[in-house]
């Protein structure tokens, strides 16, 4: 065979093989819309239970709350019809970046805010009883729902459509009317630091530094690796953590990560350097920062700060504004110690949120565990191995 013809044929075979390999690979980010009405009954650790439809729907909406690394650190223990304990699942802590469970409590607070709004939409008011005295207490809040005599219409779209956005921010500062709307009556505890100002510049540079320090800490990096859902099949099976879609890794880079990466890659110098490069790119453009503060660090104050963050987050999409929590300054002791002095705030900073207008607002993509996966039978504790849930347990 002539050399040129052989090369042509071999090239064709190789291209066909590569094409077949590509078509049988993990080709697309799994996103929330792909799951549709799949309630995960086939895959979950529990069987579906017979909670009334409205209770199940309220809890599904509560679970759309944001959480660090999307750990979804909550569980719900039904005590009686419309009476639940909301708790924190200690198996979902992030000890390397959140050793005191401050962020876990903030996330549970966001869950409680969503729950309250969702309950209102179904015609209920919530009566709360705080159970936790320390951030580590498993049982956090008891809630009882009561039918409201005069329910108000509540739009659920902001809960369904809320999402964290990390890229594509425009560089202009927030308009005065939008700031007034977002801060509302909460000016004591929500602070806007516009781009270009000294505080905003400080947060830009220290966020990069805190990310650099964190990327060099093996336990933090290891923990991150354990919460990344590299492939679509893993994301579908677990429905939590950071999917490639959630991390906004798309196109060829997303394909590469889904098909060729695993936890060990997170520990390589190249992965750490790329993560830091991403952060540099993100902080380079924004409208500045929003800080959420609280008067102290008690459980009640942390839950309140989480609720405040959720309320703020539910308003921004309608204004074309993105929010991106960037918590590393608070997680790294060296930068955390500098924060209060640098910004001159008397209060405790609980959230650092990068903020900015978007030209196009993408749909939500991060995944959530179905309700049946985070229900816990009465009397069960994290130390007891999960058992199958029987409807009789809720009666």
Ligand X SMILES: Cc1cc2nc3c(=O)[nH]c(=O)nc-3n(C[C@H](O)[C@H](O)[C@H](O)COP(=O)(O)O)c2cc1C
Q: Which residues bind ligand X (CB under 6 A)?
A: 66-70, 103, 106-107, 110, 163-164, 166, 242, 246, 324-328, 364, 366
Measured from the CB atom, is 257 or 326 closer to ligand X?
Answer: 326
- Minimum CB separation of residue 276 from ligand X in Å reads 13
- Minimum CB separation of residue 319 from ligand X in Å reads 17
Tokens at 215, concatenated: 């990327």
| Residue 71 and residue 92 in contact, taking contact as beta carbons nearer than 8 Å | yes
- Minimum CB separation of residue 88 from ligand X in Å reads 13
Beta pairing, strands 124-130 & 139-147: antiparallel
Measured from the CB atom, is 124 or 286 closer to ligand X?
Answer: 286
CB atoms within 10 A of CB 175: 13
Give the CA angle between residues 174, 178, 183 to the nearest 5°: 105
Measured from the CB atom, is 46 or 114 closer to ligand X?
Answer: 114
Measured from the CB atom, is 191 or 324 closer to ligand X?
Answer: 324
- Minimum CB separation of residue 242 from ligand X in Å reads 6
Q: 193: closest CA among 66, 283, 104?
A: 283
- Minimum CB separation of residue 253 from ligand X in Å reads 16
- Minimum CB separation of residue 309 from ligand X in Å reads 7
Measured from the CB atom, is 145 or 316 closer to ligand X?
Answer: 316
- Minimum CB separation of residue 138 from ligand X in Å reads 19
Tokens at 256, concatenated: 């590469």
Burial of 284 (0-12, 13-18, 19+ CB in 10 A): exposed
| Residue 204 and residue 283 in contact, taking contact as beta carbons nearer than 8 Å | yes
Coil/strand/helix, residue 188:
coil
Minimal CB distance to ligand X: which residue?
66
Phi, psi (deg, nearest 5) at residue 147: -60, 130
Any idea which residue has 């964190």 for tokens? 214
150, β-bridge pairs: none
Measured from the CB atom, is 145 or 371 closer to ligand X?
Answer: 371
């Amino acid at each position: 065979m002539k050399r040129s013809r052989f090369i042509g044929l071999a090239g064709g075979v190789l291209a066909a093989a590569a094409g077949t390999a590509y078509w049988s690979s993990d080709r697309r980010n799994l996103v929330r819309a792909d799951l549709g009405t799949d309630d995960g009954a086939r895959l979950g650790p529990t069987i579906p239970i017979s909670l009334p439809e409205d209770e199940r729907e309220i809890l599904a909406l509560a679970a759309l709350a944001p959480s660090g690394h999307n750990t979804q650190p909550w569980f719900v223990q039904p005590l009686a019809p419309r009476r639940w304990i909301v708790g924190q699942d200690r198996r979902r802590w992030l000890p390397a970046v959140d050793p005191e469970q401050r962020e876990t409590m903030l996330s549970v607070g966001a869950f409680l805010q969503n729950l309250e709004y969702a309950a209102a939409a179904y015609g209920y008011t919530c009566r709360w009883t705080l159970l936790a005295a320390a951030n580590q207490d498993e049982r956090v809040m008891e809630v009882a729902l009561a039918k409201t005599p005069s329910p108000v219409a509540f739009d659920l779209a902001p809960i369904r459509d809320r999402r964290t956005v990390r890229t594509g921010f425009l560089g202009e500062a927030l308009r005065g009317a939008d700031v007034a709307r977002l801060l509302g009556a909460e000016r004591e505890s929500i602070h806007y630091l516009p781009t270009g100002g000294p505080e905003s510049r400080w947060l830009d540079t220290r966020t990069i530094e805190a990310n650099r320090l964190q990327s060099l800490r093996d336990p933090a990096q290891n923990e991150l690796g354990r919460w990344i859902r590299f492939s679509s099949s893993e994301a579908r099976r677990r429905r939590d953590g950071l999917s490639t879609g959630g991390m906004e890794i798309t196109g060829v880079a997303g394909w590469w990560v889904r098909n060729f990466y695993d936890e060990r890659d997170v520990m390589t110098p190249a992965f750490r350097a790329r993560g830091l490069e991403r952060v540099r790119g993100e902080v380079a453009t924004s409208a500045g920062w929003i800080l959420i503060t609280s008067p102290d660090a008690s459980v009640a104050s942390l839950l309140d700060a989480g609720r405040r963050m959720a309320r703020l987050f539910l308003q921004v999409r309608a204004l074309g504004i993105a929010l991106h929590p960037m918590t590393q300054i608070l997680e790294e002791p060296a930068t955390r110690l500098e924060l209060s002095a640098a910004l001159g705030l008397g209060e405790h900073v609980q959230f650092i949120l990068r903020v900015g207008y978007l030209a196009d607002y993408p749909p939500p993509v991060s995944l959530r565990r179905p309700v049946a996966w985070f229900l816990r039978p009465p009397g069960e504790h994290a130390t007891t191995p999960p058992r199958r849930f029987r409807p009789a347990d809720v009666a």
